[in-house]
Each structure stands twice: as structure tokens, then as C-alpha cells.
Chains A and B, each alone.
Chain A
């Protein structure tokens, strides 16, 4: 019955869209990095959490959400760069098992680190004044800030599309995903391209952390549930592909949102069942980047 009420549908679709856009910001970096180097970084959610905490500190220091939105993702990108230089770089030539174990360990290091620095209690971040209101959309009233999250995701999608499809660096990334060896044989330092993409992915995870902080509470371990969904998005969408990450995010964001309302006790099970079904039908995901030979 609820499904026939247009007001309900509009609100829930917007909620689903909001989750989808956060998932997109998180999954695109993970997905392209995986597509380029077969490198899996389970600590990607940790970078999201660090983004939220850095935003907390930046707001305390500068009393401005917007300054936090600029500084915190840069901080996250720097954390990512250091992590890469000290640790992750050495895991590239190792098999997936070492990558999974080490980056899985980093998740717990991350949780303990934020607990030591910011304390164990949950924090909240106020919604910036300009966006602290409600807007009417299709006859329904919806919080402006949540529309802002959706807008950030759409802007990121468009920006990444142009970056990937219209720039030389984007062409190098696509070439690297298609055929890494040939890309190197053209004189392109694929490791450096990978590093840039990795840092950009961390930056986007940081952005997701900052913009989600005013909506969800900020606490040690806030990364866990969204990390699982992000990994599912990468697998379902197909690694290495912008459209794969976009479509996967939309699908998982919507199914999770509607699932929580229509059948809360089965919501997560539904997502896993959906993932299993998609992988049975399309083992490489919905829109994989790599051509299937």
C-alpha cells in the first residue's frame, strides 16, 4: 500500500539517491584502483571515517563547514598518499591474500586511532546554515542538506566522466585498465598514474566522509557498514568502470533503502541475494571495464 503513495515514493527515492551518491563517491576510487592494478584496499572505508573526523576538527578550528569540506578531503588524500608510500606500494606485487589481510588490519588500526585521537563517543556535525532548511520538491518537503549530498554525487559523476573521457590522464587510466603492459610499453609510467588515481579515490572518500558527517553520527567504526555496501557496489557494477560504479551505486542504494522499509528483517539478505544473482548471470559485474575475451 505504501508503494502506491506518491509522497512516500518520492521521499524514499530521494533517500535512496542520497545513499547511492555516497556509495558512488566511495566505490569509484576503489573500483578504478582495482581495475587498474587488481589492488584491493579494504581500508577505503577507514579513509571515509577519517574524512568525517577531520571535518569535525576543522569545524572546531575554523567554525566553517565549507573550510572543512576543502581541508578534510585533502588531509585524507595525504593520509592515503603516506599509507601508499609506506605500506600499500609493497603489497602490489603480492597476491590478493596479503592485500586483504594487511588492509583488513588497517581497518582496526583506523578505528583504534580515531578512538585515541577523538574519543570513543559519537559526535555530530551541524548542518551548514545555508543548507539548514527544507525545500519543496515534486510537492514533498525534503531537507535541503540531503539534496546537497545528491548534488555533490552528481557533480562528481559528471566531473569524473569528463576527466576520464576527455583528458589525456583519463585516457591513460582507461588504457591502463584495458591493457597495463601495453600502456607501459608506450612509455607511460603506470605506477605514477595509479598513485594519482589512488590519491583521487582517497580524496573522494574524504569528501563522502565530510558530507555524510552532518547526517550520520561520527563514531569509531562508522566505516564498517558502508564499506560492505561499497564492496558490493564494486563487485556488482564491475571493477574499473565509471558507469559500473554509478549503476551499481544506484541499484544498491535503492535496494538497501527500500529494503529497510519494506522488509527490514531481510534488507541485508536481499542485497546479498541480489549480488549473488547478478554474479551468477554476469560474473564480471553489470558494466565491466575490461573487455571480455
Chain B
């Protein structure tokens, strides 16, 4: 694995009815784990979709590992080494667990054996279709599928949302393991305690711009920032 960094420079993007991102800039260093925090509608998910080329940046520039990916097609961005686990998990209803894991597979990615060792639940369910999985199983499958791609940057959009505490713990362990291996990660979280526990750095997004940036310790200490941009 060869972790890579990413940077957004004054990115404007959004949907037909208006800009959600309004000059968003932030960067993630190689091997760093960054948590993006912000209220609902602040632009976190939009930022991730724009990185992936699912939404087009109307202006600004996105660089991954010093390559300009602003106008690249989604499949090419993925091919450069960015794996994306969307909020909706993106599990295919008609594919089995095993098919999800064999659909993609890079040499640099995790082997099937390693995946099934790390996620025993997926091994048990390997012939089940995506539509038959529980929320926690879907989340694990989405992460496992991303790891099969051998990413240099892993993007996780609310990986713990709506999951039972036991499963959240299991996913936290896996994410921490990836961090120890030096994987560059961007994670969007509503669970601030969880985010502060695992992240190296926290970026707070509010109304489509970067509002604050600092370490988890600084985040804990700064009551005003937390109140202004997160309401806590």
C-alpha cells in the first residue's frame, strides 16, 4: 500500500437548485485520518461525491496524489486508488456477497482470504444476495469491497450510522487497524465521540466552507467552535 493525500482548492459544487459547496478547501496528508464534521446539509456528503466525480465541481480544483482529478470520470478516479463507501452503502441487491468481493480486485488489494478472516460474518453469508443482508452486514461488505480495491485513500460516509453498538465497535476496530497500517482516510461522522477517538485531524464544514481545523484534543477544548458549527 502506498498512501496518497488529497486536496480540495476552492471547490464549488452542488445540485441543480444551487451550490452546496462554496469555495471548500481542505487537505488530507498521506497516511492521515481526517474526520469531516458538520451539521446536516453542511456539504460533507456533497464534498465526498464531488471528490468521486459523482457530482461535478463547477469551479476549483481537486488533486489526488498530485494528479488533477477535478474533471475525471468516476471510474477513472476510482482506478487511481480512491475507494468510496457511501452513506447508502451502495450494496447491489442482486449480487451475492462473494460477487461483491470478486467484482473488483486489484493486486494491491486485500485477498479474499484476508477479507473473510477479518469479516467472519461475510464468510458465513458469502452466497447471500445483497438484498438479504442486515444493515451491519451491508456496511461491512461495503468496507470489505473497498479494501479489495487496494485503495490509497479510503472515503467512508457515516460508517456507523444506524448500527447496533456491538457492530459500531467491530467497525471501529477495523478502521483503527487500517489507521495503524497507514491508510489515508476521510471519514464523515455524526458520532462526534467516535470521530474524535479515531481521527488525527478534524475539519469542520459549515454552509459549504471549511470553518475550523484542528486535532481531536483542540476540538474537545474548543466549546465555542463545537457550539457554533455543530450545536453541541
Which A residues contact B (CB, under 8 angstroms)?
168, 171-172, 174-175, 177-179, 181-190, 289, 291
Contacts and interface: CB of A to CB of B under 8 A. Distances in A.
Given A182-B86, A185-B52, A187-B78, 4 more contacts: A181-B54, A184-B73, A188-B104, A189-B75
A291 B78 contact: no
Interface of B: 52, 54, 73-75, 78-79, 84, 86, 90, 92-95, 99, 102-104, 130-131, 145, 149
B149 A186 contact: yes
A187 B145 CA distance: 12
A189 B149 CA distance: 15
A168 B101 CA distance: 11
A188 B145 CA distance: 13
B131 A291 contact: yes
B94 A184 contact: no
A167 to B, nearest CB: 10
Nearest to A172: B103
A186 B52 contact: no
B95 A178 contact: yes
A186 B103 contact: yes
A97 B145 CA distance: 37
Nearest to A189: B75
Given A185-B54, A187-B149, A168 B78 contact: no
A179 B130 CA distance: 12
Given A171-B99, A171-B103, A291-B131, A182 B75 contact: no
B75 A187 contact: yes
A187 B79 contact: yes
Given A168-B103, A291-B131, A188 B92 contact: no
A184 B103 contact: no
Contacts of A185: 52, 54, 74-75, 78, 84, 86, 90
Nearest to A174: B94
B104 A187 contact: yes
11 contacts: A168-B103, A171-B99, A171-B102, A175-B92, A185-B75, A186-B103, A186-B145, A187-B104, A189-B73, A189-B75, A291-B94
